[in-house]
Amino acid sequence: MSTNSTSNPISLLDKISSNDNFLIVQDVDGVCIPLVKDPLCREITLTYIESVRKMNGHFFILTNGEHGGERGLNKVIERAYIKSNKQCDNCFYLPGLAAGGIEFQDEFGQISFPGISKKELMFLSQVPKEMATLLGKGLERILPDLNTIELKNLTNSSILDTRFSPTINLNKIFSCIPNDLRRQVEIQLETERVMSKIIDYAVQEDLASSFFLHIAPNLGVSSNGKDIIKTAQKGDVGTTDIQLMISGSIKEAGLLVLINKYVQRKFGRYPFGKDFNARKAPRSMNELISICKEEILPTEMPILIGVGDTVTSTRNQQDNGWLRGGSDRGFLTLIQELGKEFKKQNIVLLVDSSKGEVDRPNLEDHQLKGITDPEDQLRFTSLFIGGPDSYMKWFKELANRKGNSYSDKKK
């Protein structure tokens, strides 16, 4: 068991709310939005959004999803206002980084994406059409019972044409074959082939160093630096998304961008420089820690509270070791290690996202099988076994204790 669960979530409220130098860095889907098979059906509560407003600069999101666009988080937020019969001309948006660390947004919905070239943006705009063509051919072979219209609709609903991270999402496809592990695995491997072909196209456009594939959930990173696909098995659907990501858009790098912004807001200076972005950050965990130690004073470094839901660990049958991955593992581990280096009581929280519509390992198993292992470096301070609902209830209580609010005046 790799969990320091001596602290339950309630016992942490006093510790956090009594401190004025802390920063919550939180994933989104599976944490404050229950996982759903159709990303267009995601819902967020207005109560949660208003709780974030009260955190007064002590909160950022860090997600592989995106802020803008029809499939972005901002549309989900706007629907929450409309559902509550409130005007959205002065909506409060979730501040922080999306697209893995590339797309920054403040609480007023002002978006920036420094470090991305026009050529990269042009290539990204053309990718969804190519993805649909390639995926459609694969699905036609694997799912021969579908007619032309059904195949086209299923393909189109599985292509997420987001601006910075076009994605193939497999939840809708898996819902057509819920108990067919063989074909689920076949579709996962076919999707990986499709997205690898997109990388080949990038190479042909002299953009070889511009992109990489992010597989979620994954089994960690192979020796050649590529995410390892997690194939479906009974009780765990495994990989559901493969994204084309812009190089540098990893959550660990994004964490440093958010710390840089937090320190400037609280102490008046950017420790890594005003123009620092995820693409300028180091890549390795040791280098990320080193730059923090070099540039941030111990009095400036906040207590970091990391919140995620996607962490994996699976036995490697080849060498009897462990394959560890998950979209949130990296930034949660970095938060843990920065706590050690700066002698801060950093907090790592894990939310049970199996409560949604996607089949995943749950936290009710005290061994956390499929999530962690006895030799895992990453240790969780506390678990939200009740899923997003229990986390949001806890977060609301924390926000009420802080009792502050962002200014309603736009910059």
Range(s) of the chain covered by CATH 3.40.50: 9-64+249-402
For residue 409, the model assigns a pLDDT of 40
Q: Which residues are tagged catalytic?
A: 389
CA-based nearest residue to 117, from 209, 243, 242: 209
pTM, two decimal places: 0.92
pLDDT, tens only, 48-96: 999 999 998 999 999 999 999 999 999 999 999 999 988 887 899 999 9
Output the six-digit token pair for 385. 């076994």
CATH fold group of domain 9-64+249-402? Rossmann fold (3.40.50)
Segments of the chain with pLDDT less than 70: 1-7, 404-411
- Which residues, 6 or more positions from 75, have their beta carbon under 8 angstroms from its beta carbon? 69
